[in-house]
Amino acid sequence: MGRRGFLLTAWPWRAAGYLLSTVPVVLTAGLPLVLLGLPLLRAVAPDATPGERAFLAVLGGLLVAGLGPMATIPLARLERRRLRLVDLRSTGSGHRRPPGRGIVPWLRTRYTESVTWRELGYFLLLAATTPILYAVLSSALVLQLCAIAAPLILLGGDGPMALGLVKVATPADALPYALAALVLLPAVPYLLALTAGAQAALARALLQRGSGERLQAELVEVARSRARLVDAFEAERRRIERDLHDGAQQRLLSLTMKLGLARVDLPPGSAAADSVADAHHEAKQLMTELRELVHGIHPRVLTDRGLAAALGELADRSPLAVTVAADLPGRPPRHVESTAYFAAAEALTNAAKHSGADRAGVAARWDDGVLTLEIVDGGAGGADPGRGTGLTGLADRVAVIDGRLLVSSPAGGPTRVRVELPCDLNRPLSG
């Protein structure tokens, strides 16, 4: 409205279209709301008794609150589209996607959202104020048109004529008012635009997604994308492990066997026998390193036999004397198993490198939807996440699947690492 040439743009017409299209929307929303609120109207009747008023007020409130959103939710979608007439900014819906299909999840989700009640409040306010506001606006426009046409009407001698609080009887008396109305005629588009802007501001404030809801929706989307990334990452780890195990490791094993056979066929002590022996030794070392690499990416035993067996193998491979106690009635999801396994591996590695411990214990149990993993070592304690990335990285890995990491490491030991991972068991363990 503050730009030059506003009257020559399409915005005054858009504002007029927005105001005119409000009338059918108010009628569509107001009719069911008025019907639902009939007990409330009856409650304020002079002949109603106090008991009747209380009962009717409660009944009307329950009807409006219980069934009103059924009328206002679809109309709010229309209002957000109609808002584009006077506001080009996008107005996203604050409604969440129901957690499941069917009418019950949909109703539970909608009736627990603040935007649903803001939409109901918007249409109640619109139905209450629009008739008054539009009546005043229409009266002002009709008065201005009558003032402009008054001299022509009075030329036929049909006076006197009322222009609001003023009466005019002749064209000469009406002429000043007609000129004033003509001068104010360019102000009409501004009046329409101002009214439409105020109504649009109210609609945007009540119908658009609030900042808290935007943050909640963004957090939900971040959690979903994070879960998808975890699944994709674990699938990629398993693919790499499978390719290395079934491809490179098998070919390297075949090469090692051929070098061993060639070493047997060569004369002992010859230069060729020494070269083949060195190559055979290097191949066996490479085989060992590749096996460690494959195991570090994703141990095959974890995929085939589950977390309990993988923890047992991890204990056998540790330089510490590790005892394992795993009480799992079933197998957790793959990404939970993988996180728990690598959490135990990282904790045992830190214990072997930094704590000076010679023994450790690993305990895993599932109770009431939470997989708990505890790693305790008999070292000197004093573990500090600020001095390295081990515990920090472990905490980040656990947090990815909504778990938490608790560390107790007083000076003198022992160090206790507790990992809690929410999950359900997929299937019972066999055997």
Q: Are residues 357 and 278 in the same domain?
A: no
Amino acid identity at 349? T
Query: Does residue 239 carry a pLDDT above 80?
Result: no
Supply the pLDDT for residue 209. 65
Q: Are residues 162 and 14 in the same domain?
A: yes
Q: Which is higher by pLDDT, 387 or 350?
A: 350
- The model scores a pTM over 0.75: no
Q: What is the mean pLDDT of the chain?
A: 80
Distance CA 260, CA 248 (A): 18
In this structure, what token pair is assigned to residue 245? 């195990």
Supply the pLDDT for residue 431. 39
Supply the pLDDT for residue 66. 86
Distance CA 160, CA 148 (A): 15
Supply the pLDDT for residue 357. 81
In this structure, what token pair is assigned to residue 408? 């107790």
Q: Is the residue at 224 inside a domain? A: yes
Q: Which is higher by pLDDT, 376 or 89?
A: 376
Supply the pLDDT for residue 211. 46
Burial 130-168 (b: 16+ CB within 10 A, else e): beebbeeeeeeeeebebbbebbeebeeeebebebeeeeb
Q: What is the pLDDT of residues 275-285, one digit of tens each?
A: 877 787 777 77
Q: What is the pLDDT of residues 145-184, one digit of tens each?
A: 988 888 888 887 666 888 878 888 888 888 888 898 889 8
- Mean pLDDT, range 193-211, rounded to an integer: 81
| End-to-end CA separation in angstroms for the chain | 78
Give the E-state strand segments of 164-298 in sequence order: 166-168
Q: Are residues 172 and 53 in the same domain?
A: yes
In this structure, what token pair is assigned to residue 43? 């409650």
Distance CA 68, CA 62 (A): 9
Query: Does residue 237 carry a pLDDT above 80?
Result: no
Distance CA 56, CA 75 (A): 27
| Element of type H or E holding 415 | strand 415-422
Distance CA 244, CA 13 (A): 69
Domain boundary among 209, 242, 266: 209
Q: Is the residue at 44 inside a domain? A: yes
Q: 429: helix, coil or strand?
A: coil
Domain boundary among 186, 209, 232: 209
Q: Are residues 370 and 344 in the same domain?
A: yes
| CATH code of the domain covering residue 380 | 3.30.565.10
- Mean pLDDT, range 127-138, rounded to an integer: 88
Query: Does residue 193 carry a pLDDT above 50?
Result: yes
Q: Are residues 152 and 266 in the same domain?
A: no
Q: Is the residue at 1 inside a domain? A: no
Q: Is the residue at 152 inside a domain? A: yes
Q: Is the residue at 402 inside a domain? A: yes
Q: Are residues 190 and 227 in the same domain?
A: no
- Mean pLDDT, range 51-57, rounded to an integer: 85
Q: What is the pLDDT of residues 351-399, one digit of tens each?
A: 888 777 888 899 998 888 889 999 988 787 777 666 654 677 778 778 8
8 A C-beta contact, residue 354 and residue 319: no
pLDDT over 70, % of the chain: 83
Residue 87 binned pLDDT confidence (cut-offs 50, 70, 90): confident
Distance CA 397, CA 242 (A): 23
Q: Are residues 293 and 309 in the same domain?
A: no
pLDDT over 90, % of the chain: 1
Q: Are residues 273 and 317 in the same domain?
A: no
Minimum mean pLDDT among 63-72, 126-135, 378-387: which range? 378-387
| Element of type H or E holding 365 | strand 359-367
In this structure, what token pair is assigned to residue 290? 């590749």
What domain range is 317 assigned to? 304-428
Number of domains in the chain: 3
Q: Are residues 197 and 227 in the same domain?
A: no
Q: Are residues 35 and 88 in the same domain?
A: yes
Q: Are residues 309 and 286 in the same domain?
A: no
- Residue whose pair of structure tokens reads 């197998």 in the numeric block: 331
Query: Does residue 426 carry a pLDDT above 80?
Result: no
Q: Is the residue at 20 inside a domain? A: yes
Q: What is the pLDDT of residues 205-233, one digit of tens each?
A: 888 765 455 556 566 566 566 656 666 66
Q: Are residues 165 and 278 in the same domain?
A: no
Supply the pLDDT for residue 430. 46
Residue 28 binned pLDDT confidence (cut-offs 50, 70, 90): confident
